[in-house]
Structure 1
Amino acid sequence: MSRHDYKFRPNPKWEDGFFVPPAPFPMPKPLDEWSKMDVFDSIIAMSRNPINATTKASMTEEDVMSDALGQTVVVVTSPEAIRHIFIENAANYGMHPVRQSILKPALKDGLIAAEGEIWRKARRALSPIFTPRHIGEFPEPMRRVTKAMLPDVFPDGQVIEADEAFLKLAYGVLSETLFSGEIDGNLDDALKDIATFMNVLGKPDPLDLIEAPKWLPRLTKIGSGRAIARMRAQVRDVSNLRRCRIEAGDDVPQDFLTLLLTTKTDDGANLSDDQVEDQIMTFIGAGHETTSRALTWLSYLLSQDKNARARFEAEIDSLDRALPVQDWVNHLPFAMACFNEGMRLYPPAPLISRMALSDDEIDGKMIPKGATTFINLWSLHRHRAHWDRPDAFDPDRFLAERGKAIGRFDYLPFGVGHRVCIGQRFALQEAAVMMAVVFKTIRLNWIDDQPHPWPLMRITTRPEKTLRMRVEQR
């Protein structure tokens, strides 16, 4: 075959005692050698699954530059370039139009999609909400909801769809921490709307990739507007009711919604209804799938590596449950190493893109105005120059001296620079609590009569097909 066969799927394997899950082969041909047919193939492959368009050079070389797609594209992998683009000269790199065409219709001026002064004001207003003091209030509700939902979501002895189970559990936790469970509606209906919402955020339409005019209909997004409208209506209703209760002086839950409604902007005003709505939609978009997908991948990896699972379960079992729940994350070093290794292999937010607003230079390479620069976390987290056994599941790489040796810009599951994920601490707390509760009670065993999961890059990295596992009571 003359062109890269992105449909070929290797089997999982063991190398030197380490489990290596199946993953796409990177495209061997350098971008500068692509023909027009290669470019066409890559656009189709990228719209189906952007991981398919990962090149070998982006996993072996530093800062790969090409004009093959009709404009300058730089895949950023070196610490120097990442620091320059995302920290030192971040003002020269704005949100990419393709990214914004995907995010803006759903998130509007939420923190992920906002730019310029709108983003700066929102970030300053929201930063006090994500302090350790406030985040420390949420692990106990996380524990309580996880424990309450566990029997229904993970019924003993049953074969379940693990990815759907973790999505449902994560939504329960998110609903409690956002709204104290006060949002109306059927859980299954809400999850369907969220699934549609997340597909809109994560899947680029081929017309988006070629920056076609906005008036051309995106066939892949037909029907998504209704799901987003229903979600916004629910958020608006619960927000309006809570605001009325606050203004009346009633006792209200101290959840994220109350914190949003009572935080102040630079001029001392409260956030508007639209601002609150946009931020909550962003929290749902950023906070629902990331932890649930990471736990799904972790469950798969542990089901294959029995030695790692034994160590993981022993640590979970030995956790002192008398400790304050917010401290659990600090007493689960191997479990958190497993979680981090899962996020390395399957990045929760796999692409970070920017566009150069004016000419620039990085390490002697000219970056013209309009150039696309992006970090592909899939290739960065598996880069041959940064990682030993880059494709293998090796949680110990995050412990002790090996963990300290990981470069600041080699592992970026929550982004980098001024726009690093504001909810990072919340996500790690949530993961620790959910792991400690779920895996103290059950074990998820792999069902052999199914293909091993194939990574699909959307707004998160998810399994292409559902993951069936059998629940075993421990």
Structure 2
Amino acid sequence: MPHRRALQPLFTKKHVAVYADRIAEVADTMAAEWSEGGSIDLDTETRRLTLRVLGRSLFGTDLSERSEAVGVPLGQVVQFVGRRALQPIRTPTWLPTRARHRFRVSLAVVTETLDEAMDAARSGAGNGAELIKLFFELTDPVTGRAFSDEKIRDELLAFLFAGHDTTATTLAYSLWQLGRNREMQERVAREAAAIGDRLLRASDIGDLPYTVQIVHESLRMCPPAATAARMAMRDVEVDGYRIPAGTNTIVGTYALHHDPSLWDEPEKFDPDRFASGQSVARSRWQYLPFGGGPRTCIGDHFAMLEAILGLASVVRKLEVESLHDDSPVKTPFTLVAAGPVPARVGTRAVTA
């Protein structure tokens, strides 16, 4: 927890507001790029978007030209680690396998990118790079020594994955739903257009209530963190089963968000369930897109800011038409699209 307390100031709601202009600028740029293609894969493109945002906001480096070169290897690294964690029998580390070779090659690509960002931050060339610079100042709470480059790199890898993969899933799912619901999409577009043509700011979120509802409902129906691991702090009984204190448990966030005893028509995409006043009677523990308690996701405010401003910025500029009525998902580690999410996009007419 000392480690978390040291990093927390970077991710308070007040502090993440400084990243808003970078988020909005990247989203505007990506929307312009998408409009030239006609049809895009929402999953691939939102991953490119969130990787660019993370690079500019926290790593002090422009990943625009390297988003695909880094994004694909990063996904392969995470998939390998996820599979290994779930395997009851593991192959010896010395045994050469195709999967292990692919993992090592992919990890080398990601590691090189992180090393370059760390070198730039040390030299002062990294514009921003707040996260990296803070790690340079931290000390290990156990040894009292400064973090090694290897330790910093491991931490940055975790932030790189968590900061782009999960928010990309939320954006892709939100755009896919809006691409199937014309009335909802027009409502988001009108809301954002009313602010004007300038880049959106953190202070604009109060004027984007329906966009916020869309993001919350997407996080309910398609929570990137589909499960969460927790240890039972005391003996507890669940559905007739005794769970002793100290037991490692898995909380099924996806199941919780789709439980008909907690939600009316849980399989229906209904952003109005998050309208003002609708959450009053809701238990704080039935909606947990970022977990809960002292181990709530440290980047929750950043993720929400990115999802809301990113979605509003894109829909303000583009009309989106989903080409598939279904959007299958899988959980190699977090909840992600099981395949391409194709959509037709075009420049939006001026919205009154």
- The answer to whether TM tops 0.5 is yes
Q: CA deviation at 1:148?
A: 2.7
C-alpha separation in 1, matches of 2:148 and 2:294:
24
Change (3 A) 1:311 1:226: same
- One-letter amino acid of the counterpart of residue 352, structure 1: A
Q: Which one has the largest radius of gyration?
A: 1
- One-letter amino acid of the counterpart of residue 176, structure 1: R
Q: CA deviation at 1:190?
A: 1.4
- One-letter amino acid of the counterpart of residue 204, structure 1: R
Q: CA deviation at 1:279?
A: 1.9
C-alpha separation in 2, matches of 1:272 and 1:331:
44
Identity, % of aligned pairs?
25
C-alpha separation in 1, matches of 2:176 and 2:14:
34
Change (3 A) 1:324 1:165: closer
Change (3 A) 1:304 1:253: closer
Which of the residues 315, 333, 337 maps onto 1:459? 333
- Return the TM-score normalized by structure 1: 0.66
Please list, as runs of the form range in 1=range in 2, the aligned pairs for 1:24-173 lying within 5 A after superposition. 120-152=1-33, 154-156=34-36, 158-173=38-53
Q: CA deviation at 1:436?
A: 2.2
Q: CA deviation at 1:297?
A: 0.7
Quick check: 1:191 aligned with 2:66?
Answer: no
C-alpha separation in 2, matches of 1:412 and 1:174:
23
Q: CA deviation at 1:191?
A: 2.0
Describe the superposition over 1:286-316 as per-residue Cα deviations: whole angstroms up to 9, x where unpaired. Answer: 1111111111111111122222222222212
The DSSP-based 3-state class of the residue aligned with 1:403 is coil
The residue aligned with 1:31 is none
C-alpha separation in 1, matches of 2:111 and 2:326:
36
Contact 1:360 1:369 in 2 (8 A): yes
Contact 1:129 1:260 in 2 (8 A): no
The residue aligned with 2:305 is 429
The DSSP-based 3-state class of the residue aligned with 1:199 is helix
The DSSP-based 3-state class of the residue aligned with 2:40 is strand
Quick check: 1:229 aligned with 2:229?
Answer: no
Contact 2:138 2:146 in 1 (8 A): yes
Describe the superposition over 1:251-272 as per-residue Cα deviations: whole angstroms up to 9, x where unpaired. Answer: 9536332343345666986543
Change (3 A) 1:314 1:167: same
Q: What's the Cα RMSD here?
A: 2.9
Q: CA deviation at 1:400?
A: 1.8
Please list, as runs of the form range in 1=range in 2, the aligned pairs for 1:10-409 lying within 5 A after superposition. 120-152=1-33, 154-156=34-36, 158-182=38-62, 186-201=66-81, 203-205=82-84, 208-209=85-86, 211-213=88-90, 215=92, 222-245=101-124, 253=128, 255-262=130-137, 271-319=147-195, 325-354=201-230, 360-362=235-237, 365-368=241-244, 371-409=247-285
Contact 1:351 1:377 in 2 (8 A): yes
- Return the TM-score normalized by structure 2: 0.87
Count of residue pairs brought into register by the alignment:
344
Tell me, which stretches of 5 or more residues in structure 1 are unaligned? 1-119
The DSSP-based 3-state class of the residue aligned with 2:83 is coil
The DSSP-based 3-state class of the residue aligned with 1:383 is coil
Q: CA deviation at 1:183?
A: 6.2
